[in-house]
């Protein structure tokens, strides 16, 4: 259920995202989801890609500092309350969301939420108990 996400450190300057993007393009690696967290001076580019091992290897070979982290992808109906239902599952559990990002996909009126939890195993158990649909990495990549 865990999905490998790759994160890059980037300075917050013009053009600094273009270079990793170009490297992935050249290797034929598809970016399925992307989120840029930034401060005034630097940012973290988080991506879920079609082949994370290859992506990490080629980026590292080009001198980028790459971190692979495990995240969870949750599918929810794209309607008011969709997110609230998921978040409610964690109330009172002590499981903390370190960060999250979301994107809709148009086919089935669903949205996908990407979470990094402080305790992914506990989060999986909690989501499964609540009957919330977790996507496996193949499912996410085949959307």
Partner 1 sequence: MSTLLEPGLTHCHPASVPDFTPVEQLRALQLQRLQAVVTRAWQHVELFRSRMDELGMTPADLRSLDDIAKLPFTKKSDLRDTYPFGLFASPMKDVVRLHASSGTTGKPIVVAYTQEDVNVWTSVLVRALAGCGLHRGDIIQVAYGYGLFTGGLGAHYGAEGLGATVVPASGGHADRQIMLMRDFGVTAMCCTPSYFLHLIDRADELGIDMKELPIRAGVFGAEPWTESMRQHIESRSSIEAFDIYGLSEIIGPGVGCECSRHDGLHIFEDHFYPEIIDPDTGEPLADGCEGELVLTTLSKQAMPMIRYRTRDITTILPGKCECGRTLRRIGRIGRRSDDMLIIRGVNVFPSQIETALLQTEGTLPHYQILLTRVQGLDQMEVQVEVTPQMFNDKIGALQELHTKLQGSLDRVLGIRVKVALVEAHSIERSEGKAKRVIDRRTS
Residues that bind partner 1 (CB under 8 A): 5, 7, 9-11, 16, 37-39, 41-42, 44, 46, 60-61, 63-67, 69, 98-99, 116
30 or 38: CB nearest partner 1 = 38
* Rounded distance between C-alpha atoms, residue 31 and residue 34, angstroms: 7
CB of 38 to partner 1, least distance (A): 8
- Taking the complex as a whole, the smallest distance from the CB of residue 1 to partner 1 amounts, in Å, to 19
Q: In the complex with partner 1, which residue's Cβ is closer, 65 or 130? A: 65
Q: Of 14 and 131, which CB lies nearer to partner 1 in the complex structure? A: 14
Least Å from the CB of residue 73 to partner 1:
16
Of the candidates 98, 27, 34, 36, the one whose C-alpha atom is nearest the C-alpha of residue 56 is 27
Quote the CA–CA distance of 23 and 62 in Å, as a whole number: 9
Cα separations (Å) of 53 from 49, 111, 112? 9, 26, 23
Cα–Cα dist 13/29, whole Å: 24
- Provide the token pair at 135: 């996507």
- Given the complex with partner 1, which of 5 and 52 has the nearer CB atom? 5
Rank residues 19 and 137 by Cβ distance to partner 1 and give the closer one: 19
β-pairing, 66-77 vs 133-135, is antiparallel
Q: 3-state class of 11 per DSSP?
A: strand
Least CB distance from residue 68 to partner 1, whole Å? Answer: 9
């Amino acid at each position: 259920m865990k999905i490998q996400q790759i994160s890059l450190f980037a300075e917050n300057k013009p053009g600094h995202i273009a270079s990793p993007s170009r490297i992935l393009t050249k290797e034929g690696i598809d970016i399925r989801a992307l989120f840029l967290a930034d401060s005034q001076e630097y940012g973290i580019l988080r991506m879920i890609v079609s082949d994370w091992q290859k992506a990490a290897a080629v980026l590292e070979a080009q001198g980028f500092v790459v971190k692979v982290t495990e995240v969870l992808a949750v599918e929810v109906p794209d309607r008011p309350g969709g997110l609230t239902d998921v978040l409610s599952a964690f109330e009172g559990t002590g499981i903390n969301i370190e960060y999250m990002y979301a994107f809709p996909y148009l086919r089935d009126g669903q949205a996908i939420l990407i979470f990094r939890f402080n305790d992914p195993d506990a989060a999986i158990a909690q989501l499964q108990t609540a009957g919330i649909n977790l996507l496996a990495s193949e499912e996410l990549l085949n959307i």
